[in-house]
Amino acid sequence: MRKGNINMYQEYFYEIENIIKKNLEKRHMEKITLFGELEKSARELFSSDRVLIITGFLIKGTKKGETDGPIGAVSLAAALKELRKDVLIVTDIYSEPLIYAACKARGIDVGVEIISYGEEELFCNDLLKWYNPSHIVGIERPGKSKNGKYYSMRGEDLTDEIPNGDIIFENAKKNNITTICIGDGGNEIGMGKVYDLVKQYVPKGELICAAFQADYLITAGVSNWGAHGLVSALAILSGENLLYDEDMEKNILQSIIKVGGIDGCSKKNTLTVDGLSLKENTDIINELRKIIQLAFEKNKKFAFVE
pLDDT digits (tens, 9 = 90+) for 200-232: 999 999 999 999 999 999 999 999 999 999 999
Pairing assessment for the beta strands 64-65 and 58-59 based on DSSP bridges: antiparallel
Above 60 in pLDDT, residue 267?
yes
What pLDDT score was predicted for residue 300? 65
User: CA triplet 234, 251, 135: central angle to 5 degrees?
Assistant: 30
Q: Return the pLDDT at 8.
A: 74
- Given a contact cutoff of 8 angstroms between Cβ atoms, the answer to whether 182 and 139 are in contact is yes
User: Would the pLDDT of 306 be above 60?
Assistant: no
Distance of CA 111 to the CA centre of its chain: 17
The residue ranges of every structural domain in the chain are: 6-298
Taking residues 53-65, what's their average pLDDT?
97
Whole-angstrom Cα distance, residue 255 to residue 78? 16
**What is the C-alpha to C-alpha distance for residues 102 and 207, in angstroms, rounded to an integer?**
32
Half-sphere exposure of 297 (CA within 13 A, CB side): 8
Kindly report, residue by residue over 132-153, the tens digit of the pLDDT: 999 999 999 999 999 999 999 9
pLDDT for 28 equals: 86
Q: Which helix (H) or strand (E) holds 71?
A: helix 70-82
What is the average pLDDT across 105-128?
Answer: 96
Model confidence at 97, pLDDT cuts 50, 70, 90, reads: very high
pLDDT at 298: 82
Cα separation, 207 vs 36, in Å, equals 27
Residue 119 has a pLDDT of 92
pLDDT at 64: 97
Task: Return the pLDDT at 26.
Answer: 84
The pLDDT assigned to 299 comes to 75
pLDDT greater than 80 at residue 303: no
Of the pLDDT bands very low, low, confident and very high (cuts 50, 70, 90), residue 7 is low
18 band by pLDDT with thresholds 50, 70 and 90 = very high
Q: What is the DSSP letter of 182?
A: E
pLDDT at 1 exceeding the cut of 50: no
| Predicted pLDDT at 272 | 97
**pLDDT tops 50 at residue 4:** no
Report residue 230: phi and psi, to 5°: -65, -40
Q: How confident is the model at residue 191 (pLDDT cuts 50, 70, 90)?
A: very high
What whole-number distance in Å separates Cα of residue 264 and Cα of residue 62? 10
Average pLDDT, the chain: 94
Residue % of the chain over a pLDDT of 70 = 95
For 61-79, what is each residue's pLDDT tens digit?
Answer: 999 999 999 999 999 999 9
Percent of the chain with pLDDT over 90: 89
- The domain 6-298 is placed in CATH, from the list 3.20.20.140, 3.40.190.10, 3.90.1640.20, 3.40.50.1370, at 3.90.1640.20
